[in-house]
Homo-oligomer: A and B are copies of this chain.
Amino acid sequence: MFESAEIGHTLKKSAFREAEPALRRALLDVQYRLLEQNKFPVIILVNGVDGAGKGETVNLFNEWMDPRHIHTHAFGASTDAERARPEMWRFWTALPPKGNIGILFGSWYTDPILQRVLESESGAQFQLRLARIRDFERMLTAEGALIVKLWFHLSKDAQKARLNELSEKKKTAWRVTRDDWKFFKRYDDFADVGELALRETATAEAPWNIIEGSNHEYRSLTAGRLLLDALERRLKGSPQPKARAEPLPLPPVDKRDVLSTADFSRKLDHDHYQKQLDKLQGELNLLTRHKKMRDRSLVMVFEGMDAAGKGSTIRRITRAMDARFYHVVPIAAPSDEERAQPYLWRFWRHIPQRGHAVIFDRSWYGRVLVERVEKFCREEDWQRAYHEINEFEEQLAGDGAIVVKFWLAISAAEQLKRFKERAKIPHKQFKITDEDWRNRKRWPAYERAVVDMIARTSTNQAPWHLIATNDKPWARVETLKKLVETIEAQL
């Protein structure tokens, strides 16, 4: 795979000087068109062999274009905040918004390659991480991102010569660290593992570009033209590809589903309610202060039809916890900033660090509920979301998060009763809007979406708990009970 990048590509200084001004103008031009169109982000991944000119190229890109719209991130050793969250968190938070260019210097490839070379991970684990990366990049491109993957390569001899050259000059000697020489000794391992990484992740929608790095002029012009070509082609606007999505199952032929078979008759009288509530809140409080909780995090998701009592149930939970321990994140229509990112971005930004909890009042499930029913996104987009959501929750669970999801179910009749009550009581009128009535008309469509959601995303790692909420006291106690049980089982 590296043959083409070991033949000693060079370009004369004069040829470079001649070509550079036009390239620069063209790059600046596409950058502004990108910004103006404001339709997709550009993610440039810079990886490869040390000494092959990665840093110089990143600097050059920033020099050639307007650096105000370029977000450059160098990923070194992870910070405390990063280590306290799933691996991909730091990359999610570094994604450039639409219209912008993000340069990721050292990317999601760096750690898998390093771990494999150091043999701290098996071949199967490595391949699995690569498969996950493939899915991640597929998601990014499906969301519209243009990914430009650059791999700067040097042959073994060229790397040795380069390290020697840098070491010998006083001005550049500091750039060669002991690690550089240590890694050089494992050149062949790095080449093998790197090749496998490239092979497994070179896809049609996010191909790798291998650039020979020994000659500054050749390398710079090649990288610049690659970026220009990719940007021009995308700006000319091939439309958003139409992906294939096969139909989901029809409603069951016997008309029975997890919602219609829920038992709405359960009730709890005031005395029992108060006793059990106190007991469970006490237990929850102890659990959140449990020693083992310091290495875990807690992600709670609340979804449900309007008036099912999400707010009041959440309050019964928060009252049991220290305010420094948790955050409540209410999810409404996305902000401008959030709309400029892949849809999961707005949730990644709120992922708790270990030892903390986040309660999502509505969540990423909006994609397969309201966005599906109201046609805010295309069918292929919400269809692929099931798999993406499961992967997302797997990353959370895999990093030690306890993920608990509640669907607060309410019968149609009970909802109507509550709507009418709200309309009558002055201090509750704000809670009932035209939209609520409109949503109610789509009840069957929402129910179908809920049934599909539960069938596709209720998993061992993050099961859905379906709580019948016609009787609020019973629902609150039941929710707390499930929550306490889940945390107990996991700690």
A residues at B contact (CB < 8 Å): 1, 3-4, 7-11, 19, 122, 124-125, 127-128, 131-132, 134-135, 141, 146-148, 192, 195-196, 199-200, 202-207, 209-210, 218, 221-222, 225-226, 229-230, 233-234, 238-239, 241-250, 252-254, 256-258, 261, 380, 383-384, 386-387, 390, 451, 454-460, 464
Query: Contacting A249 at CB < 8 Å: which of B226, B380, B460?
Result: B226
- Docked complex Cα distance between A476 and B267 (Å): 87
- A7-B256, A384-B203, A387-B204 as given contacts; A244 in contact with B246, CB under 8 Å: no
Contacts of A1 in B (CB 8 A): 455-459
Shortest distance between the CB of A206 and any CB in chain B (Å):
7
Chain B residues with Cβ below 8 Å from A247 are: 229-230, 233
Besides the known contacts A3-B458, A124-B128, A207-B248, 10 further A-B residue pairs in the complex with CB atoms under 8 A apart: A4-B258, A9-B256, A124-B124, A141-B244, A192-B460, A202-B387, A205-B245, A222-B252, A229-B247, A233-B246
A112 to chain B, nearest CB (A): 13
Nearest first, the 6 A-B pairs at minimum CB distance are: A204-B383, A131-B131, A204-B384, A204-B245, A205-B244, A124-B124
Minimum CB–CB distance from A460 to chain B (whole Å) comes to: 6
Can you give 9 A-B contacts (C-beta < 8 A)? A10-B254, A11-B253, A195-B459, A199-B390, A204-B246, A207-B248, A207-B383, A238-B242, A241-B241
Please name all residues of chain B whose beta carbon is closer than 8 Å to the beta carbon of A202 when the two chains form the complex: 386-387, 390, 456
User: Least Cβ distance of A360 to chain B in Å?
Assistant: 21
- With a CB–CB cut-off of 8 A, which chain B residues contact A125? 124
Q: Which residue of B lies closest to A231 (CB)?
A: B247
B249 pairs with A455, CB closer than 8 A: no
Assess whether A226 is in contact with B250, with CB atoms less than 8 Å apart: yes
**How many angstroms from the CA of A195 to the CA of B242 in the assembled complex?**
29
Min CB distance, A424 to chain B, in Å? 37
The smallest C-beta distance from A144 to any residue of chain B, in angstroms, reads: 9
**Most interface-central of A7, A135, A380 (chain B CB within 10 A):** A7
In the docked arrangement, what's the CA distance between A287 and B188, Å? 28
| Inter-subunit contact B192/A7 (CB<8 Å) | no
Give the CA-CA distance A226 to B246 in the complex, in Å. 11
Task: Specify which chain B residues have a CB less than 8 angstroms from the CB of A245 in the assembled complex.
Answer: 204-205
CB distance from A398 to the nearest CB of B (A): 11
When the two chains form the complex, which single residue of B195, B229, B250 contacts A225, counting CB atoms closer than 8 Å?
Answer: B250
Give every chain B residue within 8 A of A252 (Cβ-Cβ). 4, 9, 218, 222
- B contact residues around A200 at 8 Å (CB): 390
The reply to whether B244 and A242 contact each other, CB–CB distance below 8 Å, is: no
Q: Are A257 and B195 in contact (CB under 8 A)?
A: no
Determine the chain B residues whose CB is within 8 A of the CB of A128 once the complex forms. 124, 127-128, 131
Q: How far is the CA of A8 from the CA of B248 in the complex (A)?
A: 21
A258, B205: Cβ atoms closer than 8 Å: no
| Chain B residues with CB under 8 A of A135 | 131, 134
> Which chain B residues lie closer than 8 Å to A204 at the CB level?
243-246, 380, 383-384, 386-387
In Å, the complex CA distance between A393 and B80 comes to: 42
A218 shortest CB reach to chain B, Å: 6
Closest approach, in angstroms, between the C-beta of A355 and any C-beta of chain B?
Answer: 26
B454 and A4 within 8 A (CB):
yes
Q: Which residues of B contact A141 (CB under 8 A)?
A: 244
Q: Specify which of B222, B241, B261, B464 is in contact with A7 (CB 8 Å cutoff).
A: B261
Report Cα–Cα, A154/B172, bound state, in Å: 68
Q: Nearest residue in B to A19 (C-beta to C-beta)?
A: B253
Interchain nearest-CB distance for A247 vs B (Å): 5
| B residues near A8, Cβ cutoff 8 Å | 256
Bound CA–CA A258/B8 (angstroms): 11
Contact of A242 among B148, B241, B455 (CB under 8 A): B241
Contact A209 B249 (CB under 8 A): yes
- In the bound complex, how far is the Cα of B205 from the Cα of A249, in angstroms? 13
Q: How far is the CA of A19 from the CA of B383 in the complex (A)?
A: 29
Q: Which of B4, B207, B390 contacts A451 (CB 8 A)?
A: B4
Contacts of A455 in B (CB 8 A): 1, 3-4, 210
A350 CA / B261 CA spacing, docked (Å): 54
Tell me if A246 and B199 are in contact (CB < 8 A).
Answer: no
Q: Which residue of B lies closest to A451 (CB)?
A: B4
The closest CB in chain B to the CB of A225 belongs to B250
A147 contacts across to B, CB distance below 8 A? 246
- Taking a contact as CB atoms closer than 8 A, the residue among B124, B146, B196, B458 that contacts A246 in the complex is B146
Contact B218 A253 (CB under 8 A): yes
B199 touches A459 (CB 8 A): yes
